[in-house]
Chains A and B, each alone.
Chain A
Amino acid sequence: NAGVTQTPKFRILKIGQSMTLQCTQDMNHNYMYWYRQDPGMGLKLIYYSVGAGITDKGEVPNGYNVSRSTTEDFPLRLELAAPSQTSVYFCASTKHRQGEYSNQPQHFGDGTRLSIL
């Protein structure tokens, strides 16, 4: 089972460049999330999506954009890369019904290590 797949695994960008981090899941999960993990810290929520066509900001959305055109894919876009965006990025997904108990755990991808130089 593939689960949550993130590409690329590593990337180095120059300041001001743009790129898209890809995330796809094959579990038919409706909820998807993007987190970042800075050194020595826990994960922080960047954006999330409750289904195709619906996205919303998390705790640290500045400098990022997302889209959700299909259930499977949830790409994260960096438009103007800055050194502060050097981090490890995790995509996650889960399945539950809005308004109901959200007892399902989130399934995580293996992360993308991004360095901005």
Chain B
Amino acid sequence: AQTVTQSQPEMSVQEAETVTLSCTYDTSESDYYLFWYKQPPSRQMILVIRQEAYKQQNATENRFSVNFQKAAKSFSLKISDSQLGDAAMYFCAYRSLYSGGGADGLTFGKGTHLIIQP
């Protein structure tokens, strides 16, 4: 079974600065998907960014980018030019590449609470 670990329960950053959220995972699979989801106080789960493990290039989405280190099983999220609206819980999640069997769900970390200081 896969596990996802987010070692930072809470992070704080000044508005307009850059912050990096850490995520490590454990798997015996060679191909898989990784995701970062944002959960604001409204409780919605919003996809921020995703990475295919078979792609070497790190994914980027506007101010959000990842540092994917496959050998180290590390998948950190960098938020540039932090904005007040970025304040939320951030969850790292793992999904097997192929559907079917017990691999269909997402495995989540415990989350990191991101605080944006004005």
Classify chain A: how many residues form its interface, as a range. Answer: 20 to 34
B4 CB to nearest A CB, Å: 7
Write out, one digit per residue, whether chain B residues 28-41 have a CB within 8 A of any chain A CB (1) or not (0): 00000101000000
Classify chain B: how many residues form its interface, as a range. Answer: 20 to 34
Number of A-B contacts defined by CB within 8 Å: 72
Residue A73, interface by CB 8 Å: no
Segment from B69-77, B80-88, B107-115 that makes contact with A: B107-115
Contact between A58 and B105, CB atoms less than 8 A apart: yes
Cα-based distance from A50 to B100 in the complex (angstroms) = 8
Smallest CB-CB separation from B96: which chain A residue? A102
A11 CB to nearest B CB, Å: 15
Residue B52, interface by CB 8 Å: yes
Interface residues, chain B, CB within 8 Å of chain A?
Answer: 4, 33, 35, 42-45, 47, 50, 52, 91, 93, 95-100, 102, 104-111
